[in-house]
Chain A
Amino acid sequence: MDFDLSDDQRLLQDSLAKLLKDKYGFEQRKAYLKSETGWSREVWAAFAELGLLGMPFAEDDGGLGYGAVETMIVMEQMGRALTLEPFVSTVVLGGGFLRHGATPEQRSALVPMIAEGKLLMAFAHTEQQSRFDLHDVATTAKKDGDGWVIEGRKGVVVHGDTADQLVVTARISGGRRDRDGIGVFLVPANATGVTRRGFRTSDGQRAADISFDAVKVDAAAELQGGLALVERVADETIAALGAEAIGCMEAAKDLTIDYLKTRKQFGRPIGSFQSLQHRAAEMMVCLEQARSMAMLAAMMASERNDDERRRNMRAVKVEIGRNARFVGQQTIQMHGGIAMTMEYAGGHYLKRLTVIENMFGDMDHHLAALSDEGGVFVAA
C-alpha cells in the first residue's frame, strides 16, 4: 500500500496547477462565466495540449491509458480552480461510455477527436420523475428497420448546450422503472428532432433541457451494456466529482485559514478566538476524511465486482457530501459577510460543492440504497 504519487503523476499535477494558475484567476473565471459558452475554448485547447482530454482512453484508441488515480489528480486541481469546462461531461462521462460500451470502430472514430479537443459530449439521462434513480427511464427507443427512433425529454443535461454528441438513455422494453430494457444511445446533438434549451446551473455552469422528437439513429448508435454500463460510468463519475470536491474543500479551507489570520476584530486576528480555531480544526478533520474517501474511490473505480464497487462508491458519495457541506458552510460562516458576495471566491466553493452533492445521487439516496444492500461491512 502506497499513497505517494509517482514522478509522472506529480508532473501531471504540477503542470495542470501551473496552467490553472495562469488561466484561472478569479477575474479570468468571471470573464469565462460571462462568455457565450460559459467556459473557455482557449483553456479547453490548453487541456488538450496537456493531454488531459485523452487521458483515460486506451493507447490503441488514441489515448494515454491513464487510470483513476490520474483522473483524481486532475479533478482535484480543477476543483481548486473551480473550472467551468466540460471535462466531466466529455472525458469522464462521455469517455466512460465510449470506453466501456462502444465498439472499436466507434472508439477509433471519436476518441482522437475528443483527445484533440474537437468533440464535446454530454450525458442526457435525468428526467422530471427519475430523481436519482438510474433505472427510472421514461424516454423510449423503438425499433425502426435497422435503426431506432428516440422519443422523450431529458432535463438537467450538464454541458448539453454545447455538446456535439449526446449519450442518451432510453427504454427499449419493460416498464418505466424496470432494471432491464434500458438502452444507451449515441445521438449527434444536431440530429433532426433534437431541441436544446440551454440554461445556467446554480454554480454558474451550463446545462440544457433537451427534447427528442422522433429522433432517428442507426443501429450502430446503440452502446452495449444497458443499466450496468450506466452504473459503471456513474460510479467513475462519482469518483471524479469526489476528487473535484476535495479540491474545492482544500481551496476553501486555505482561504478561510488565511482570512482568520488577517481579519481583525476586537483588536486581534479572529483566528485567535478558540471557537473559530476549533471549527477550523474540524474543517481539517472533514477534509482529511473526505480525502481518504476520494482515494478509496480511485481504488474502487476499477473494481471488477460490481456490487463491491457500487457499495463503496455509495459510501464515498455520502461521506464526501457530508464533509463538503460542513467545509462549505463554515467557509462562509467564519468569513462573516464578505463570503456572502459574488465578488469573493469563498461562497463559490459552497455553490460548486452543493451542485456536486446533488449530482448522481445525494447523501440520502445513497445512504438508503447502501443500507438496503447490507451496508459497508457485511456481517459474516
Chain B
Amino acid sequence: MELRFTDEERAFREEVRTWIDANLPAETRERMASGRTPTKAMQVDWQKRLYAKGWAVPHWPVEWGGQPWSAIKRFILSEEIQSTPAPTPLGFNANMLGPVLIAFGTDEQKKHFLPKIANLDLWFCQGFSEPGAGSDLASLKCAAKRDGDHYIVNGQKTWTTLAQHADWIFLLVRTDPGAAKQQEGISFLLVDMTTPGITVRPIITIDGAHEVNEVFFDDVKVPVANLVGTENRGWDCAKFLLSNERTGQARVGASKERIRRLKLIAKQTPGGAKPVMEDPRFRSRLTDVEVQLKALEMTTLRVLADENRALSQRKPNPASSVLKIRGTELQQAISELYVMAAGPYGLAAPHDPEADGRNEPDVAADWQTLAQATYFNWRKQSIYGGSTEIQKNIMAKAFLGL
C-alpha cells in the first residue's frame, strides 16, 4: 500500500498547471471563476487547445488520440482542469459517445467521428430520456422504422442538454416494438441535427437558464450507416455508456475549487459584526462539507487505483457507486453554503438583459446573484445520470444481494 503521489506525478501536476495558466484565455477563466458555465465558443476553443496538446481524451486508446497514462495521471489532469477552473472536455463527446464508438462502432464510424468528437468539431447531445421514459429508460417509445438504406425516426426526446448547441445527437430508438423484453428492441443511432423534421424547443429550468430542450422527430431520415452496434442491441451501448457516466460525476476537483473560492469570498463579505467567514456556525458547516469532500477525494483515488488494474483482475467496486451519490450530494451542499454566504443580497436574481429586455441596476455582487441560481440548478445533480434512488437500487442488488 502506497498512498502518496510519486515525484513524477507531482511533477506532472506542475506541468499541467503551468500549461493551463499559459493557454487558458483570460475571458474563459474569468467566466468560469464566476461560477457560470462556459459559452459554446469558449468550450469549443478550449477543447481544441486541449486536443492539440493531446489532453482532450487521454482515457481513449492511443491510436484515437488517447495517452498511455495511469488512471492517477488522468485524474491529475482532470483535477487541475476543474480546479483552475477551466472547462472540462464536453462529456457527451469525450466520456459518453467516444467510448461507445470505440467499443461498438465500425471502422468507418471510428475514423469519421472520433477525431471530430475529440476536437469538438462536432458537438453531440444525448437523446435518451423521453416524457414517459426517465429512470425506466428501457420503456422509451421514440421509434425508428427501417426503410431501405434509412431509418425513419418519429417521436420525442426531452431534457436534452445543450441541444441548442449540438451538431449531432446520439439517440436511443425503438426498432422492434414486438420484442419479448423492452431492452431487446432498442437501437443506438447517430443523427445530424440539421436533418429535416427535427424541432428543438427550449425548456427553461427553475434558475431561468436555457440548458435543456425538447427535441421532436417527425419522419426524420437517418442513414442505416449511422447505426452504432447491432440493430436491437442498442441497450448494450446504453448500459456501457451509463456506467462510464457515473464515475465522472464526483467532480472533486471542481468542488475543491468552489470551497477555496467560497472561503475567500466569505472573508470579504460583511456578516454583521464580523465577516461571514468568522461566523462560527457558518464556518463549521463549511468545514463539515470539506471533511466529507476529503473522504470523497480518497474514495475517488481508490476507484482510480482499481481502474489501473488489468480488466481481468478488477472486481466490481462498491466505492464507484459512492462517487455518484456522495459527489452530487456534496456539490449540492456547497451550493447551499454559497446561498448562506450571500445572505439577503443573494435575493437579487442574476442580471441578464438579453433574456427579459429590462435593463436593471446591479445591486449585488456577481457571485451573490448566482448563488441561488446555482443552488436551484444543481438540484438536478441527484436526478440525472441515474438518480440517487436508482443508484441505491443498483447497490442493493449488485453489492448487497438484496
Contact = CB atoms under 8 A, between A and B. Distances in A.
Interface residues on A, range: 35 or more
A3 B3 contact: yes
Given A290-B295, A376-B293, A285 B322 contact: yes
Interface stretch (B18-26, B167-175, B189-197, B284-292): B284-292
Interface string B262-304: 0110010000000000001001101110111111101101101
B284 A368 contact: yes
Nearest to A303: B4
Given A261-B402, A284-B318, A371-B287, A289 B2 contact: no
A368 B3 contact: no
A377 B293 contact: yes
B393 interface: yes
Contacts of B302: 3, 292, 295
A158 interface: no
Contacts of A333: none
A295 B293 CA distance: 15
Given A289-B299, A380-B260, A315 B290 contact: yes
Contacts of B393: 274, 277-278, 281
Interface string A339-380: 000000000000000000000000000011011000111111
Given A257-B402, A281-B392, A298 B326 contact: no
Main secondary structure of the interface of B (DSSP, over half): helix
A67 to B, nearest CB: 9
Contact of A2 (B284, B298, B305): B305
A101 interface: no
B5 interface: yes
Contacts of A280: 396, 400, 402
B291 A284 contact: no
Main secondary structure of the interface of A (DSSP, over half): helix
A257 B298 contact: no
B286 A319 contact: no
Interface in A241-266: 257, 260-261
Given A3-B305, A284-B395, A371 B284 contact: yes
B265 to A, nearest CB: 10
A284 B394 CA distance: 12
A115 interface: no
A4 B400 CA distance: 23
B345 interface: no
B72 interface: yes
A106 interface: no
Contacts of B251: none
B256 interface: yes
A40 B82 CA distance: 53
B335 interface: no
A368 B296 contact: no
A231 interface: no
Interface of A: 1-6, 9, 69, 257, 260-261, 271-272, 274, 276-278, 280-282, 284-285, 288-290, 292-293, 295-296, 298-299, 312, 315, 318-319, 367-368, 370-371, 375-380
Task: Please name the 8 residue pairs, one residue from A and one from B, whose CB atoms are nearest each other, closest first.
Answer: A292-B298, A277-B396, A299-B3, A281-B392, A281-B395, A371-B287, A379-B263, A376-B290
Given A281-B392, A285-B325, A377-B256, 4 more contacts: A1-B9, A3-B306, A284-B321, A289-B299
